[in-house]
Amino acid sequence: MSRKLAFTVVVGALAWAASAAAASAMSCDALSMQAAAPADTIVATAELVKTPIPNCKVEGWVTTNNPGPNRVHFRVQLPEKSLWNGRYYFMGLGGSAGSMPPAPPKILGAGFVVAVTDTGHQGHLLDWSFMSNQVQALDHIHRGAHVATVAGQTLTKAFYGVDKLWRYHLGCSGGGRMGSMAVRFHPEDYDGVVIGGNGNLPKGGVAGAEMLKFTQTTQEQYRPGGWVSPAKLAMVEQHVTAACDLTDGAKDGVVWDSRLCHYDVAKLQCKAGDGPDCLTVSEIRTIKAIVRGPYDKHGRKLSEGMPITNMTMWQFNGKAPPPWKPEATFENLTTASSAYVIPTTMAHGLIRKDYDVLKDMDFSDEALKEWDKGFRDSGFAVPFKAEHLAGFQKAGGKMIMWSGSSDPCCSYIEQENTFDTAVKGLGAEQVQKMFALYSIPGMGHCAGGTGPEDSTDMLLQTMIDWVEKGKEPGAIVAHRGTRVQTPFRVMTTTAEAGVPLQASTGVSRDFLLCRYPMVSVFDTSKAKVEGAVYDAGNWSCRAKR
C-alpha cells in the first residue's frame, strides 16, 4: 500500500471514529433528549445524578390517543456511558401502580438502565377506581407500559449511540401482571420477562374470587366472630408446620407443597369459651372456608383457596377485626383487610361505583355474570390461552414465572395450570425453549414467610444467563439469612418493589429451587447430620411424584 493511500485510510478511519463518538456523545439535558424522543413523548427534565453511580435521570410523559388523550409518566435512569453494562431493566409495579418509586440502588449501581412508569394515572397502589375511565384503564392494562417502554428504550439507544441492548422486565403481583401483559400484547418489547405472583386465571376462574370469599367469611355480619387475629393465625401456623413438615421428606420448618398437608384445624377447638392457644367454632369455620376456596351456588370451584401453610402470610387478613372501611389509603390499611379494599375499588372501577362486595356478590349466577363481565370486557382479567405466547415465542423472548408456595393471592397451583396449558397448546419442546416455572417454598405473596430472601435476584441472573448466554434454566440455589446474595437487590423493600413486602424468618440456609415439573428432594440419608437439611448440596431435582 502506498504512503498516500495509507494516510488516506488512517485519516478516514479517524474521521469515522470521531463521527461515531460524536453520535454517541449525547449530553444529559432535556433539549437533547427531546430531540431523540419518539413522537407524542415529552421530556420534562434530564439531569445528572451522582448516586449510586453517575447517571442521567430523565423524566417525562407520553400522550396516548385513540382513545385519549392521557398522560403516561415515565422515568429512565441511564448510567454514565463507561459504567453501562448494556442492559435495560424495567420495574414492574405492584398493585395498580399509580406512582414511580425510586430505582433499586444496587441494580442501577450494577450498570443497568432502570425504567419505570405510573401506567397512566396517579393514585394509591390498591385503588383501581380509575378503571371507570376507559382511557386510563387501557393504559393501565397494557398500553401505558408499552409506550413508556418504547420511549425509554429509544432514549437509551440514543444516549449510548447503540442499536442493541438487553431488555429485561421483572415484577411481582401487579408487576407480574404488567410482565404478562407485555408478553401477550407487546412481545417485541423485552428479551426476558420475570413474572411473579400473577393470578392470570388459566382455567377461566373468577378474578378476585378468593378475596371476595375471604372478606365475606371474616366480616362479622356474615359470621359473628369469624375474624381470626394475626396472633391466632401464628398459633395455627405452628401446629400446621409441626404436623406437615415431613410431608415433603425433610424436617426443615418448611412445608414445600401445601397440597400435601391435610391438617384439620378442628383439632384446635377450644374446650370451652376462647383462649390464645385454641380456636372457636367460628374461627375454625373461617379457616376451613378460606382454605377450601370460593365455590358458586352449584358447587363449582371458582378459584384456588388460600394455602393452609404459612397463615401469617395471609396479608389480606387485616390487623383489626371488621367492620372495615373500603378506602384505599395507607391509614386505612393499617387496620382494614386489603382483601376488602382491593375488590371494592376494582368493582367501583370496572362494574359500578355503588357496588358493594358484601351484598352484591352472593356467588349466584347473576352476581358472577355481572362481576365477570366487568373484568373480562375491560381486558383486565382474561383466562390464559397458549396462543397468548405465540408472538413472544416468534420474537425469541424468554419468560420465567414464579410464585410463593404459600401465596394467598396468586396460587402457585394456578401457575402450574398456566404452564400445563401452554404445553398442551404449543408442545413441551417449544415451551421448554421459552417458558420456565418455579415455586418458591415457604414464601407468601411476593416475599416473606419461611422461604428464601433472594430468589428474585437469583431468577433475574438465571434469566440473564438464558438470554445472553443461551444457558437454559435448571436448578437454582436461593438463600435466607446470612447466606443471602443480592447482586441486584430487586424486590427487597416496599420502595424498591412498589408493594408491601415482609421479611423471611428462620435460620440461615439454602433452598434448591427446581424448574417445574421437577421438585426439590432432600437426601434422607443425611437426615441425622446436623445442618444438612439447610445445605442445597444435599438436595436434588427429581420428577414430581
C-alpha grid cell for residue 157? 439507544
pLDDT 10s digit of each residue in the chain, 545 long?
443 333 333 333 333 333 333 334 589 999 999 999 999 999 999 999 999 999 999 999 999 999 999 999 999 999 999 999 999 999 999 999 999 999 999 999 999 999 999 999 999 999 999 999 999 999 999 999 999 999 999 999 999 999 999 999 999 999 999 999 999 999 999 999 999 998 666 666 788 899 999 999 888 666 678 899 999 999 999 999 999 999 999 999 999 999 999 999 999 999 999 999 999 999 999 999 999 999 999 999 999 999 999 999 987 888 899 999 999 999 999 999 999 999 999 999 999 999 999 999 999 999 999 999 999 889 898 888 999 999 999 999 999 999 999 999 889 999 999 999 999 999 999 999 999 999 999 999 999 999 999 999 999 999 999 999 999 999 999 999 999 999 998 875 444 444 556 778 899 999 999 999 999 999 999 999 999 999 999 999 999 76
Provide the edge-to-edge strand list for the sheet that holds 435-440.
41-49, 55-64, 70-79, 113-117, 87-91, 166-172, 192-196, 398-404, 435-440
- Residue 470, classed as helix, strand or coil, is coil
What 3 state SS string does 329-372 have? CCCHHHCCCHHHHHHHHHHHHHCCCCCCCCCCCCCCHHHHHHHH
Where are the chain's structural domains? 27-164, 169-201+383-545, 209-378
CA atoms of 346 and 96, how far apart (whole Å): 10
Residue 169: CB atoms within 10 Å: 29
Indicate the burial class of 528 (C-beta count within 10 angstroms; 0-12, 13-18, 19 or more).
exposed
Q: Strands 518-522, 509-513: parallel, antiparallel or unpaired by DSSP? A: unpaired
Query: 10 Å Cβ neighbour count for 147?
Result: 24
Buried b / exposed e over 259-286, threshold 16 CB at 10 Å, is: eebebebeebeeeeeeeeebbbebbbbb
For 298, the grid coordinates are: 352449584
Residues 6+ apart with CB under 8 A from 64: 40, 70, 71, 72, 120, 135, 138, 139, 143, 144, 147
AA letter at 29: D
Residue 492 has what pLDDT? Answer: 55
| Under 8 Å between Cβ of 496 and 489 | yes
Kindly report the pTM of this predicted structure: 0.93
- 146 in Cβ contact with 75 (< 8 Å): no
Instruction: Give residue 201's pLDDT.
Output: 67
Q: Which amino acid is at 530?
A: E
Confidence (pLDDT) at 19: 33
- pLDDT for 317 equals 85
Q: Which residues have C-beta within 8 Å of that of residue 481, sequence separation ≥ 6?
A: 453, 504, 506, 507, 508, 509
Secondary structure (H, E, C), 209-245: HHHHHHHHHHCCCCCCCCCCCHHHHHHHHHHHHHHHH
Q: What is the dihedral of CA 368, 374, 380, 381, to 10 degrees?
A: 20
Give the pLDDT of residue 461.
98
Q: What does residue 97 show for φ and ψ, rounded to 5 degrees?
A: 60, -125
295: left (phi over 0), alpha (psi -120 to 50) or beta: beta
Our CA angle for 77, 104, 404, nearest 5°, is: 135
Enumerate the β-bridge partners of residue 41.
62
State the amino acid at position 296 in one-letter form. D
173: left (phi over 0), alpha (psi -120 to 50) or beta: left
The pLDDT assigned to 500 comes to 57
The confidence score (pLDDT) of residue 17 equals 33
